Structure 1
Amino acid sequence: MRFEVLGRLVVRSSDGEVVGVPETRVRALLADLLTVSGRPLSVDRLVDDLWDTPPARPAAAVQTRVWRLRRALEAAEPGGRSLVVSGPAGYRLDVPREVIDAHRFEDLLTRAREDGDLARRVALLEEALGLWRGPAYADFGDEAFVLPEVRRLTELRMLALEESAEARLALGEHGPLVGELAVLVAEHPLRERLRAAHIRALYASGRQSEALENHRDLSERLRGELGVDPSPELVDLQRAILAQDPALEPRRRDEPPNR
């Protein structure tokens, strides 16, 4: 059984078939269990998360939803019901780490950060980012119980995008990055690391005036919207562009990255 949360919640059997999980509250129960990575959730916590107004018999109401979830998993694969475990501390989802796409994403990100080869790092980051089908837990995005995990995963995704951009710049892929990063910058105009990668891609593509204009735009936004000055790294980047520092020149594709 596989569980996908990097987008709408999807459950798949081992042969890739989508598993039907009926009833919104049963799906919410599954989402809640997935957010805590195998840790148990108490009945009280589940009642708070799944009901605006507590049911008359909270424990029985939770037990009914657990039974329906187990039935759906068992119908998909023999033994599926055993994945939802009950104990003194509550209910938990007992599945290997690798069957949840969010965990696979994190593991690939860790591997990429540990790999010293730029090309392999980019490949790992692209594989990790390819797991995303939309916002995490998209069909429960307004529920309070998923928000901390959604924020954490979303930030990790942005970091992966920034790290991929920096690695690709080091490999001389500034041309395609100009357009790709422009879309992300429009969505996240105050992320300094993302903007710096876009500015470097513009400069490496021979668009120095646009790079400087983007730098000015970011500086003004930071001061006007956040009340902060650009980071020392951004100041140094502006100076390097004005001085046409050779270190900013794009690398040829056939040139080793540790020139």
Structure 2
Amino acid sequence: MGITDGRDVIVLQPSKPANLLAALLLHPNSVVSVDFLQRVVWGEERPVTAKAALHTCVQRLRQLFAKYGIAGNLIEAVPGGYRIAADAGTLDLIAFRELLRSAEAEPDPDGELRTLRAALSLWHGPLLVNIDSDILRREVVPRLTEERLRTLERVFDIELALGRCRQVLAELWPEARSHPAHEHFWAQLVEALHRTGRRAEALSEYRVVKEYLQTELGVDPGPALQQLELAVLRGDDLSAPAARPGLTMLPPGDRHGLSPPPAIPPALESGGREFPSEVAEDVLETLVGAGLLEEEPEGRYRMHDLLRTLTRGAVAFRSEASGSDTSSGA
């Protein structure tokens, strides 16, 4: 973490004021309680003089700002704690999140991709390497890391959907290696290799992640990765979105994995009998209870990859069965 006056960048040395500044910047324009700030600065064993010492840290930060020409009373004492004023022009974290919102509004994939890459360019090295605070590393760093990873996922999905498989490989390899439990990166890597004619390498990379998951976590790869392995073994053409197991590119306005609620028809027919909509509603409740559907706000649902696979299989089976009936009756 560092500060800049627009010309030079000053990287703060590990210290109590640096811990305090990190806590405030990670909650910009919000009141951060004295209790939380004391835990960030001193851990769970706070000195009896912690309240006065915290004020001293604030004063030292204000002096540091003045020294480097950062004007204004950025750190404000408010009832219950402190607050730091920031905007997209003064804090990269705010600029990053604003760019993500702008990307969602982009009407075409190339525009979204440019905006997402502009957002990622604001990340410089590992998070909070010069901050010595267990609570920030435990409670804040994982959430921020997830924001970056979700953005990278989206970037790679767009690149793959646009057919730029060869170009994106150079980025996919280090990300998959750096996050061995992040299955989506591995799925993207396997797909990119397969679509560039490197089938053997795609299967080799699948074996790498499978061995890691089984050895380190005691689990098998998820349904999306398993289906992708089968697609590679069969030599399927994965260039069409419908043929990409678990990697379908989400359209604008639906970029968080949310699907509209499954439609409930007035009646479901089976063997000549009609089932009322209440039965369909019971089915929905059962699927939610089994973890195959996750209910979201505003009546939306998140579908588990296993349910997607089963649904696709059922549709394919019915299509084949219909074709058989037609041919046998001809």
TM-score, normalised with respect to structure 1:
0.81
Contact 1:26 1:66 in 2 (8 A): yes
Equivalent in the alignment of 1:223 = 214
Equivalent in the alignment of 2:239 = 248
- CA RMSD, aligned part only? 2.7
Higher strand share: 2
Matched, 1:124 2:105: no
Over residues 232-251 of structure 1, what are the superposed CA-to-partner deviations in whole Å (9 max), with x where a residue is unaligned?
2222222322332234379x
Over residues 88-128 of structure 1, what are the superposed CA-to-partner deviations in whole Å (9 max), with x where a residue is unaligned?
11111122255211222222223334434221122112111
Matched, 1:237 2:235: no
Alignment of 1:148-227 (within 5 A): 148-227=139-218
Higher helix share: 1
Structure number with bigger Rg: 2
Distance 1:146 1:225 in 2: 22
Distance 1:45 1:189 in 2: 33
Distance 2:106 2:8 in 1: 34
Matched, 1:70 2:57: no
- Cα 1:87–1:120 shift into 2, 3 Å: same
Amino acid at match of 1:61: A
Using the aligned pairs only, state the percent identity.
33
Contact 2:31 2:82 in 1 (8 A): yes
- Cα 1:240–1:248 shift into 2, 3 Å: farther
Equivalent in the alignment of 2:41 = 50
Residue ranges of structure 2 left out of the alignment (5+ in a row) = 242-248, 250-330
SS in 1 for 2:83: strand
- Cα 1:206–1:48 shift into 2, 3 Å: same
Distance 1:248 1:18 in 2: 44
Matched, 1:10 2:2: yes
**Number of residue pairs matched?**
241
Contact 2:89 2:95 in 1 (8 A): yes
Distance 1:88 1:169 in 2: 50
Runs of 4+ residues over 4 Å off in structure 1: 19-23
Equivalent in the alignment of 1:93 = 84
TM-score, normalised with respect to structure 2:
0.65
Contact 2:191 2:238 in 1 (8 A): no
Distance 1:180 1:118 in 2: 19
SS in 2 for 1:239: helix
